[in-house]
Structure 1
Amino acid sequence: MTAWRRFLTHRAAVVSLILLVLLAAAALAAPLIEAALGVDANAVSLLDRFGPPSAANWLGTDELGRDVLVRLLHGGRVSLFVGLAAAVGSAVIGTVIGLAAGFYGGRVDGFLMRLTDGVIALPLLPLLIVLAAVDLGKLGLPAGLAQSDQVSLYRIIVIVALGGWTTVARLVRGAALSVRRREFVRAAVALGASDTRLMLVHILPNVASPIVVATTLSIGNIILLESVLSFLGLGIQPPLPSWGNMLTNAQELIWSAPMLAIYPGLLIFVTVIAFNFVGDGLQDALDPRSGGTRR
């Protein structure tokens, strides 16, 4: 049974994947939906504050009269992009470090694994809060760039990627230690293959499964982490919407307009759970010892 067929037997993962595809498609289509509805995600209209759902505003309006649905879709673009980009960045860093440690062994392995242990020992959330609060203007970044709407987005991605690579590094290191002892790798060494070719052509494809699974599972956690930072006011900064800062803006309105908090909170919850189910399904599908489990 192929990996894809094994994945299809994991019902929760299949449903979650369909849900994520629909969410991603809706988020990517946000500008088209915005144009079709004839609204502006950032247009403030104090006369239309807390408007109920209507033909023009399907989910109503928020405390500034902005369309909630369109802002949720734009927020989904940001939150999903942060999750995907930071997860891929973490996977790349972790793969490079884990592959080098597992292939070379010895002192290289010892140094890189102690570095990994040091990063693991750091309290991640407090560290992210401190780094997110750093004034980039004082680090030499041009004032216009340091205060731009986009800089908070890329700063979160970089910070999370630099702090979240340890799991992938350990998984790749363990798999590389096993693969480098196999006959086909020894044969390649005997034929004079370079270290780079051995790692990229002979070892990396054989350790790809744990990388894919770990990256998929980490996306949901990163989205949740970005939401926490945004909720604390240190993540994505308005007017750029994300599910986290939309939840932050709604915390003082929880009694008067609870749906403004429920909508982004529900989307965060569903997205994180869906990514975890997809990761679980991939783990079963890519494990050759698994015959596929219906769930």
Structure 2
Amino acid sequence: MSGGFLRRFLRSPLAVLSALLLLALAMASLAAPLVEAALGVDRTAISLLDRFAPPSAEHPLGTDELGRDVLVRLLYGGRVSLFVGLAAALASALVGTAVGLLAGYHGGRLDALLMRLTDGLIALPLLPLLIVLAAIDPARLGIPPEVAGAENASLLRIVLLVSLFGWTTVARLVRGATLSARRRDYALAAVALGASGRRIMLSHILPNVAAPAVVATTLTVGNVILLESVLSFLGLGIQPPLPSWGNMLTGAQDLVSTAPMLAVWPGLLIFLTVIAVNLLGDGLQDALDPRAVVRR
């Protein structure tokens, strides 16, 4: 089965190219400290004498308005943006898969309750809701100031907010697949043999409904990166000095006329990442479906 999946996936050149691009971005972001050391720069060091320096051997993409190396900050920003996208998408997938499995397998009142909750969350405008929640002062929620003011606090807050409200698509997809899978012969045979509901869901149904969850999770990564970028652009997301592609765009919005490349580079990386994730999701959908039509 794995060989068939790989063959079907390789038939989609755009999906393969997208996977390679995402892998390259991830590897480059992980190598940010090595690049920083090789260039002999400090991503946090401010040098007003080196403001808006053109590309050179020491600064391949030049410097920003505070004299910081743009390439190194892009790589560190990639670590943050990609981590937020992956972590929030995986957390949303876990919640959505659990809700979808329970609703689809048990049915009845539990299904009605969970699906009405899902429908209610879907009806909410996600971006305005996240903007309002991200603007709440953590100190008013009883969170200790040292925790709320930690460098990674804004990162974890974005992951938590998206995870709480971004699981609905996965839940509906998994529920639909579970409703179909629980009537299949292998599930009915497990019931006849006396297997518990938990064992049937985890051992028999979950592996057979994983495909839509995987595809939805992949597509969620791109959506989360866009949401993080929008919130950071509005000053409600990742907070400096921690760089992300979104807050790098925020810092460059007043410099578009004088230093346009400071906005082009993070915007281009966001664009490429989201497009690559969506194309990868399409390729995975075709590859995970054994009935996929062979493309020419």
| Same fold (TM > 0.5) | yes
Q: Give the structure 2 partner of residue 241 of structure 1.
A: 243
Of 112, 134, 140, the residue aligned with 2:136 is 134
3-state SS of paired residue (2:97): helix
Q: Determine if contact 1:50/1:62 at 8 Å carries over to the other structure.
A: yes
CA distance, structure 2, for counterparts of residue 250 and residue 292 of structure 1: 45
Amino acid at match of 1:119: L
Q: Give the structure 2 partner of residue 222 of structure 1.
A: 224
3-state SS of paired residue (1:53): coil
Q: Aligned-pair distance for 1:293?
A: 2.1
Q: How many residue pairs align between the two structures?
A: 294
Of 70, 73, 91, the residue aligned with 1:71 is 73
Amino acid at match of 1:177: L
3-state SS of paired residue (2:60): coil
CA distance, structure 2, for counterparts of residue 238 and residue 184 of structure 1: 53
CA distance, structure 2, for counterparts of residue 233 and residue 10 of structure 1: 39
Q: Determine if contact 1:6/1:291 at 8 Å carries over to the other structure.
A: no
Q: Determine if contact 1:172/1:211 at 8 Å carries over to the other structure.
A: yes
Of 14, 17, 27, the residue aligned with 1:15 is 17
CA distance, structure 1, for counterparts of residue 191 and residue 286 of structure 2: 32
Q: Give the structure 2 partner of residue 164 of structure 1.
A: 166
Q: Give the structure 2 partner of residue 44 of structure 1.
A: 46
Q: Give the structure 2 partner of residue 203 of structure 1.
A: 205
Amino acid at match of 2:54: P
Q: Aligned-pair distance for 1:291?
A: 3.5
Amino acid at match of 2:253: Q
CA distance, structure 1, for counterparts of residue 54 and residue 250 of structure 2: 21
Q: Which deviations, in whole Å up to 9, do the C-alpha atoms of 1:57-84 show, x marking residues without a partner?
A: 1100000000000000000000000000
3-state SS of paired residue (2:56): coil
- Percent of paired sites with the same residue: 71
Of 95, 111, 117, the residue aligned with 1:93 is 95
CA distance, structure 1, for counterparts of residue 257 and residue 150 of structure 2: 33
Amino acid at match of 1:109: D
Of 266, 271, 274, the residue aligned with 1:272 is 274
Q: Which deviations, in whole Å up to 9, do the C-alpha atoms of 1:210-251 show, x marking residues without a partner?
A: 011000011111101100010011000000000000001000
Amino acid at match of 2:85: G
Of 43, 62, 65, the residue aligned with 2:64 is 62
Amino acid at match of 2:277: F
CA distance, structure 2, for counterparts of residue 15 and residue 184 of structure 1: 37
Q: Give the structure 1 partner of residue 151 of structure 2.
A: 149
CA distance, structure 2, for counterparts of residue 274 and residue 221 of structure 1: 12
Measured on the aligned residues, the alpha-carbon RMSD in Å equals 0.8
Structure 1: which 5+ residue stretches go unaligned? none
Q: Determine if contact 1:87/1:222 at 8 Å carries over to the other structure.
A: yes
CA distance, structure 1, for counterparts of residue 210 and residue 278 of structure 2: 18
Q: Give the structure 2 partner of residue 53 of structure 1.
A: 55
Amino acid at match of 1:273: I
3-state SS of paired residue (1:2): helix
Q: Determine if contact 1:284/1:292 at 8 Å carries over to the other structure.
A: no
* Structure 1 runs (4+) greater than 4 angstroms displaced: none
Q: Give the structure 1 partner of residue 262 of structure 2.
A: 260
CA distance, structure 2, for counterparts of residue 11 and residue 77 of structure 1: 26
Q: Give the structure 2 partner of residue 31 of structure 1.
A: 33
Of 168, 177, 195, the residue aligned with 1:193 is 195
2:176 matches 1:174: yes
CA distance, structure 2, for counterparts of residue 25 and residue 165 of structure 1: 28
